[in-house]
Structure 1
Amino acid sequence: MRPMRKAPLVLVLSAATLAAPSIAASSATAVPRSSGTSTLVRTDKGLVRGAHLHRHRLFQGIPFAAPPLGALRFRPPQDARPWTGVRDATFPRNRCAQIAQDWGGTSSFSEDCLYLSVTAPDRPPHRRKRKLPVMVWVHGGGNVIGAGSDYNTSKLAVNGDVVVVSVNYRLGALGWLAHPGLEAGPDRHLQAGNYGLLDQQAALRWVRRNIAAFGGDAHNVTLFGESAGSADTCANIASPTAAGLFHKAIAQSYGCAAVTRAEASAEASAVTVAKKVGCTVEVARCLRTVPTKRLMEAFNEVEVMPYAVAGGDRVMPRQPRAAIESGRFNRVPLMHGNTLDEMRLFVGFLYPKPITVAEYERVIRESFGRHADRVLAHYPAAKYPEPRLALATVFSHGGNVLSTCDHVTALDVFRRAGVPVYGYQFADRTAPPLIDVPGYDEGAEHGTELTYLFPGLIGELKGPQRRLSNDMTGYWTSFAHTGRPGAHHAPHWPRYRSARDVLTLAPGRGGIRPTDVAEASNCALWGTIDPILP
């Protein structure tokens, strides 16, 4: 993400929207190797030995597909090879290739990265009367950085009595480059650019084949993800090739009715990347030989938007909203929501120092053109402690894929489609921030709900925050069990029928309650303003 002060802020946020979660992910510590009692499990490719930790078993670095190297670069994931003996699954393997960004991350240039981790309560499967629900986590990080092993999934597994699987998938150019020259040979009918999405589906197929050996129920799988992981969850909901691979979904901080990349624009940007690395003839062969670092640098320089491509084939034949409205989607119960102050993260990053009222109004006019006067009338700078908070509020309410009003639109689309849907908004303005900007109130910014589900990811929780964390863990895992979120001693979560049914999640007495988020976010106004972001 590069600050582009002269460009409309909404365009800057367009490039940054999916990137923030990796700030959290990069600051997390992967679960270390354990000297505890190891456990042995047989998968369809061979034996793995994991670790027995506090009240749970952890298996890391299990291959769910072959390393996508050489001729397998820019190919759908292929079957992993069987191994002999016992594979050590007590530590994570490689992160998928990625370049650290200004806002965080850890560089890696390994393409041998298609691994997953499994966390299960410590009772072995043969001592249980029934299989446990499975939750499959798709990490955020803009689809350019991050790893499944960055997240401590033990609280969900232990407190919620579920098996949790966290996955790696190809990132950046290697996962999302859509050059038409790659649509050749056995892939001639496959839209290029959806390799990361296909990796996630391969991981779900691994779950279907193997999760019973870890105590999980292959017929009760919940797919969930945040930010870019939410965008990918939404794409899998719309993807025919994901049919039957999951039975519930949770999409956190990315509106499922948002427009994803179209075939023509995705391919045009990929052609630019190919030219940048000198691939103009025999493009597929050339792209498979370009050094990883150079390829990924070129992808970043062109500022390709790395998410699913719609319209080219059966993986993603239509835009997500069109798929849902036509009834041609994976009809599963859904939890869907965002944070109260999504855009404070991005505004704080772009403007670490205070801005003037004049600068605020300039950005609004550059971003909304003929609608700017109406936006400024509803969001005058004088109404807020400082202009940066006014700016963040505008974009948290409407005009982009993270906004509350975009999430209300998605909730309404699913409701009309007839699937059970539950809306939420995380609203703890005292939550540990992803980036601590001096003199700036980060509030419930993008990604702050993550540490309530994955302990230690972003700072430590205190007092009522820990109770909120327990309630959220209960809601998330009960949904995995039954398709209806409900936590012990926590308020009832109503099924979504209107924006008044969205459940606010905040600490303290009365902090969890249904709220009319459409009214609070001026969605009547935003429904009349032309969309700005793709």
Structure 2
Amino acid sequence: MSHGSYTTFGGIPYAAPPTGPLRWRAPVPAATWHGVRDATTAAQRCVQMPTPGAGAVLGSEDCLYLNVTMPTPKPAGQKRPVLVWMHGGAFLGGSGSDYSTEQLAVRGDTVVVTVNYRLGIFGYFGHPELGSAPPFGLADQQAALRWVRANAERFGGDPGSVTLFGESAGALSICAHLTSPTAVGLFQRAVLQSGSCLMSFPRGALGPGIPAYEPFASQRDVQTAGAEAARQLGCTAGGGDEVLACLRGQSTDRLATAQLMQSFNRPSFGNTLLPVAPDQALASGRFHRVPIIQGTNHDEMRMFVGLSLAAFPIRTENDYRARVVDAFGLAAPAVEAQYPAGHYPTPALAWAAVLTDRSLTCTTLAVGRAIAAHAPGLPLYGYEFSDPDAPVLTGLPANPGFPYGAAHGFEMPFLFSSFPTERPLTDAQRALSDRMVDYWTNFAHTGNPNTPDAPLWPVLRLSSPLAQSVQSLAPGPGGIHPVDAHSAHHCSFWDRLPQ
């Protein structure tokens, strides 16, 4: 569909519908079509975890489609770099069509592709009878990248200049592809926003008693969970073929329950796509040598804490102390001494700061050190999105005395112009948005985010833990400048603390 300065193509199939006998199989090529295909609207999103109180299941299992945005006109002879976006959503929600990419395409002179991939039990199920099947959602993403390699030139794109970028679960996906032997040659650069190979949450981060979270799971653990799910679904009789036929015969609605979806939202390792856990692969130097931008937001975990405050309020220092003890056990006094509640406007903000530093900022910097240790000459850039007044994303609850600041996902409206927020960007924020788009797209063009008219973004130097400057991204004069995130987020403390 033409929009003047850009053209969009929605709902392009990159793999066959993973339904019926193709449920829980690696993606296979989509059927060819003859004549003109309608590409004026995006396809349905992949089946999502149902929201509380919702009726029908949202989305469809027939969902392996992507969307392309390209500037108009298509260049004669010259090929543009391609940006491929993997959405976030905890491997449980989201869709490629949620993101408006025209600013990246037009201002950045790039071709932008957004991708749907299987979610929850449909994307990350395992069972002994499936053997060492790959995580299907990640296999979908690699199939989409192969489609891009085969078809980018049709849209004026360069199949040899692909930048993979994503946020949250999308960034975790990119971590997996960086360490996946089956992703060789599928992308030439990577941008990881608020998610890394070392990210994890301690016990109680999302609420008292909620178990610790690691983003990847062993094949054995996923198979064990799958065998239990099969028992719950009544699929145990007969041999292996009968069990799988029973499981594949279950209705979408019967599988898309909150309990089953949440039981399968961690990609498995111990298969051809991920032979070992990504953090172990990274530590041993088994990752693709491509230029990387990685970063976090200044107040990442305020989003998660804000979502849980109604159910689990943190009103007093005793409430805060109980959360710290739940998360860190014997190390709790050391954590509380490093983060005294009295040093923060409220105990809830103190708790959010603890989790931001421990789970996202410092783990992301540690990834940078691991990369630098094995590939010291690799172009590596770090950032911290730091706008304290970023627009609040639509749907987040208002908590008096608990500003969200630069929380998880709050950089999205600065890259994707129509991302839903409670208010539009200010003039200063729009200027920051333009600058961020320039940085991201120049990186896609050259492997270096810097442009002649922008504040210098230095390469991340990791020779010393005391000199780990990342680019602070905030609006207003002087808002873009290098900062020592390692010191500002107490990373020396977390690096010493047993995990």
- TM-score after normalising by structure 1: 0.84
Task: Identify which of 89, 107, 112 aligns with 1:141.
Answer: 89
Paired position in structure 1 for 2:154: 213
Paired position in structure 2 for 1:503: 471
User: Residues 470 and 488 from structure 1, CA distance in 2 versus in 1: closer, same or farther, beyond 3 angstroms?
Assistant: farther
Please list, as runs of the form range in 1=range in 2, the aligned pairs for 1:44-443 lying within 5 A after superposition: 51-102=1-52, 107-124=57-74, 127-183=75-131, 191-192=132-133, 194-258=135-199, 260-281=216-237, 282-297=242-257, 300-301=259-260, 303-304=262-263, 306-311=265-270, 313-352=271-310, 355-398=315-358, 400=359, 403-418=360-375, 419-434=378-393, 435-439=396-400, 440-443=402-405
Deviations 1:466-501 (A, max 9, x none): 111011001100000000111452211111113532
| Contact 1:396 1:404 (C-alpha < 8 Å) held by counterparts | yes
User: Residues 106 and 319 from structure 1, CA distance in 2 versus in 1: closer, same or farther, beyond 3 angstroms?
Assistant: farther
Q: Partners of 1:425 and 1:120 in 2: how far apart?
A: 29
Deviations 1:175-201 (A, max 9, x none): 001112123xxxxxxx23500000000
Q: Does 1:451 align with 2:413?
A: yes
Kindly provide the amino acid, as one letter, of the partner of residue 433 in structure 2: S
Kindly provide the amino acid, as one letter, of the partner of residue 76 in structure 1: A
Q: Partners of 1:528 and 1:279 in 2: how far apart?
A: 47
User: Residues 486 and 105 from structure 1, CA distance in 2 versus in 1: closer, same or farther, beyond 3 angstroms?
Assistant: farther
Kindly provide the amino acid, as one letter, of the partner of residue 177 in structure 1: F
| Contact 1:140 1:228 (C-alpha < 8 Å) held by counterparts | yes
User: Residues 349 and 453 from structure 1, CA distance in 2 versus in 1: closer, same or farther, beyond 3 angstroms?
Assistant: same
User: Residues 106 and 122 from structure 1, CA distance in 2 versus in 1: closer, same or farther, beyond 3 angstroms?
Assistant: farther
Deviations 1:60-83 (A, max 9, x none): 000011111100000011111111
Q: Partners of 1:315 and 1:255 in 2: how far apart?
A: 18
Q: CA deviation at 1:233?
A: 0.8
Deviations 1:199-247 (A, max 9, x none): 0000001101111010000000001110001110110111111110100
Kindly provide the amino acid, as one letter, of the partner of residue 448 in structure 2: R
Q: CA deviation at 1:103?
A: 12
| Contact 1:177 1:193 (C-alpha < 8 Å) held by counterparts | no
Please list, as runs of the form range in 1=range in 2, the aligned pairs for 1:15-30 lying within 5 A after superposition: none
User: Residues 442 and 106 from structure 1, CA distance in 2 versus in 1: closer, same or farther, beyond 3 angstroms?
Assistant: farther
Deviations 1:304-340 (A, max 9, x none): 25132112x2210012132233332221111101111
- For these two proteins, the number of residue pairs brought into alignment is 467
Sequence identity (%): 45
User: Residues 175 and 285 from structure 1, CA distance in 2 versus in 1: closer, same or farther, beyond 3 angstroms?
Assistant: same
Deviations 1:122-151 (A, max 9, x none): 112xx4341000000001111111110110
Deviations 1:336-373 (A, max 9, x none): 01111010011111114552211111111111000000
What SS does the aligned partner of 1:157 have? helix
Q: Does 1:475 align with 2:439?
A: yes
Deviations 1:432-473 (A, max 9, x none): 122241412111110000110001213221111111101100
Q: Partners of 1:426 and 1:488 in 2: how far apart?
A: 21
Kindly provide the amino acid, as one letter, of the partner of residue 290 in structure 2: V
Kindly provide the amino acid, as one letter, of the partner of residue 314 in structure 1: T
Kindly provide the amino acid, as one letter, of the partner of residue 493 in structure 1: W
Q: Partners of 1:438 and 1:523 in 2: how far apart?
A: 28
Q: CA deviation at 1:271?
A: 1.8
What SS does the aligned partner of 1:336 have? strand
Q: Partners of 1:456 and 1:233 in 2: how far apart?
A: 24
Deviations 1:86-144 (A, max 9, x none): 101010111111133359999424211110000000112xx434100000000111111
Kindly provide the amino acid, as one letter, of the partner of residue 278 in structure 1: G
Q: Structure 1, unaligned stretches of length 5 or more?
A: 1-50, 184-190
What SS does the aligned partner of 1:87 have? coil
Kindly provide the amino acid, as one letter, of the partner of residue 82 in structure 2: V
Q: Partners of 2:58 and 2:44 in 1: how far apart?
A: 8
Q: Partners of 1:236 and 1:317 in 2: how far apart?
A: 12
Paired position in structure 2 for 1:6: none
Kindly provide the amino acid, as one letter, of the partner of residue 137 in structure 1: W
Paired position in structure 1 for 2:489: 521
Deviates more, 1:260-269 or 1:66-75: 260-269
User: Residues 305 and 377 from structure 1, CA distance in 2 versus in 1: closer, same or farther, beyond 3 angstroms?
Assistant: farther
User: Residues 529 and 203 from structure 1, CA distance in 2 versus in 1: closer, same or farther, beyond 3 angstroms?
Assistant: same
Kindly provide the amino acid, as one letter, of the partner of residue 304 in structure 1: S
Q: Partners of 1:431 and 1:129 in 2: how far apart?
A: 40
User: Residues 366 and 325 from structure 1, CA distance in 2 versus in 1: closer, same or farther, beyond 3 angstroms?
Assistant: closer
Kindly provide the amino acid, as one letter, of the partner of residue 172 in structure 2: A
Deviations 1:360-392 (A, max 9, x none): 111111110000001111111111111110110
Q: Partners of 1:243 and 1:273 in 2: how far apart?
A: 34
What SS does the aligned partner of 1:284 have? helix
| Contact 1:263 1:309 (C-alpha < 8 Å) held by counterparts | yes
| Contact 1:99 1:105 (C-alpha < 8 Å) held by counterparts | no
Q: CA deviation at 1:519?
A: 0.6
Q: Partners of 2:337 and 2:289 in 1: how far apart?
A: 41
| Contact 2:306 2:399 (C-alpha < 8 Å) held by counterparts | no
User: Residues 302 and 139 from structure 1, CA distance in 2 versus in 1: closer, same or farther, beyond 3 angstroms?
Assistant: closer
Paired position in structure 1 for 2:203: none
Q: Partners of 2:34 and 2:420 in 1: how far apart?
A: 39
Kindly provide the amino acid, as one letter, of the partner of residue 293 in structure 2: M
Q: Partners of 2:345 and 2:284 in 1: how far apart?
A: 45
